């Protein structure tokens, strides 16, 4: 957990939310979807399998449980979980709450139109909701 | 593991490869990328978190280790792992070996152009490689 520095592009596109045992949780600055990103606090990892087996399990547990909590608390139709990393090489996992009514449905969110930044109220409201459900996770 | 029937669209787009402890492994019929799909042999599950905690860990372990084996054995630049399910609701996990030279790089593979079906030789060759590495997994 030493020497961790968040990738500059991830930092520019997101707001920091909280730390889980393994990962920093970021809120993507795109009001079209409730979209969080988990970044394991390791220095230079690109693939999940570069983590220890224990940390691999922890990362997937954090992504799965946060996705479940988001779907339950915020309401939606499908959780998309993905680790791509073709552009930003620092290992990160997307957790996106999708709705049949969202602008990209049923296509994936990546590369689909332009991000719509949150206004202050919208960001604060979702942030409070996400912090509450992150606080309630048992991981 | 009862009452499992593979979704018709998944069946039409893939070739069956092998069974892992939890999942059926399918080869996507798209020669542009080495692309496999894991389908847990459960009847009616759409989200990873609907599996038991044990099966969640097993599913992610199967996806992560198969991805590692594919990258090591076949050579490539990045493993993409994703569970989307916006079109096919039956729970499935994509494991895609990406290369800087592939047609979609660095974009995600979904919805990107048209699949290029394998010819018989290409399919047989990759199938043999994948079966050998699946056989070597310790999961």
Look at residue B134 and tell me whether its pLDDT is greater than 90.
yes
What residues of A are in the B interface, CB distance below 8 Å? 46-49, 56-57, 60-61, 64-65, 67-68, 71, 78-87, 98, 105-108, 110-111
Strand partners, A23: A40
Total CB pairs under 8 A between chain A and B: 96
CATH value of B8-135 in 3.40.50.11610, 3.30.428.10, 3.40.50.300, 3.30.310.10: 3.30.428.10
Task: Provide the pLDDT confidence category of residue B44 given band limits of 50, 70 and 90.
Answer: confident
How is chain A classified by DSSP, letter by letter?
Answer: --S----HHHHHHEEEEEE-SSEEEEEES-TTS-EEEEEES-SS--SGGGS-HHHHHHHHHHHHHHHHHHHHHH--SEEEEEE--SSS-S--EEEEEE-TTSTTTTS-STTSS---PPPHHHHHHHHHHHHHHHHT---
**What single string gives the DSSP state of each residue in chain B?**
--S----HHHHHHEEEEEE-SSEEEEEES-TTS-EEEEEES-SS--SGGGS-HHHHHHHHHHHHHHHHHHHHHH--SEEEEEE--SS--S--EEEEEE-TTSTTTTS-STTSS---PPPHHHHHHHHHHHHHHHHT---
In this prediction, residue B2 carries a pLDDT of 61
A47 with B60: Cβ contact below 8 A:
no
What residues contact B5, with CB distance under 8 A and at least 6 apart? B43
Pick A80's closest partner by Cβ from B80, B84, B107: B84
Contact A81 B49 (CB under 8 A): no
What are the structure tokens assigned to A128, written together?
Answer: 């409070």
CB spacing of A82 vs B84 below 8 angstroms? yes
Whether A46 sits inside 8 A of B86 (CB atoms) is no
Instruction: Give the gap in angstroms from C-alpha B27 to the nearest C-alpha of chain A.
Output: 19
Q: What is the mean pLDDT of chain B?
A: 96
Judged against a pLDDT cut of 60, whether residue B59 lies above it is answered with yes
Note whether ipTM > 0.95 here: yes
pLDDT, residue B37, reads: 98
**pLDDT per position in chain A (139 positions), as tens?**
568 999 999 999 999 999 999 999 999 999 999 999 999 998 789 999 999 999 999 999 999 999 999 999 999 999 999 999 999 999 999 999 999 999 999 999 998 999 999 999 999 999 999 999 999 999 8
Please report the pLDDT score of residue A43 as a whole number.
72
**Inter-chain CB proximity A81 and B82 less than 8 Å:** yes
Q: Give the closest-approach CA distance of A50 to chain B in angstroms.
A: 9
Nearest CA in chain B to A100: B86
Chain A environment of B83 (Cβ under 8 Å): 79-82
The average pLDDT across B40-51 equals: 93
């Amino acid at each position: 957990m030493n020497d961790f520095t968040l990738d500059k592009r991830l930092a520019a596109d997101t707001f920091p939310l909280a730390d889980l045992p393994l990962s920093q949780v970021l809120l993507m600055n795109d009001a079209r979807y409730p979209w969080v990103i988990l970044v394991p606090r390791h220095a230079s990892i690109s693939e999940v399998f570069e983590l220890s087996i224990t940390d691999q399990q922890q990362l997937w547990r954090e992504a799965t449980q946060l996705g479940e909590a988001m779907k339950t608390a915020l309401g939606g139709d499908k959780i998309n979980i993905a680790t791509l990393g073709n552009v930003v090489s620092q290992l990160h996992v997307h957790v996106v709450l999708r709705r049949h009514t969202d602008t990209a449905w049923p296509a994936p969110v990546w590369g689909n139109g332009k991000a719509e930044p949150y206004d202050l109220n919208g960001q604060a409201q979702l942030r409070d909701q996400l912090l509450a459900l992150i606080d309630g996770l048992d991981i």
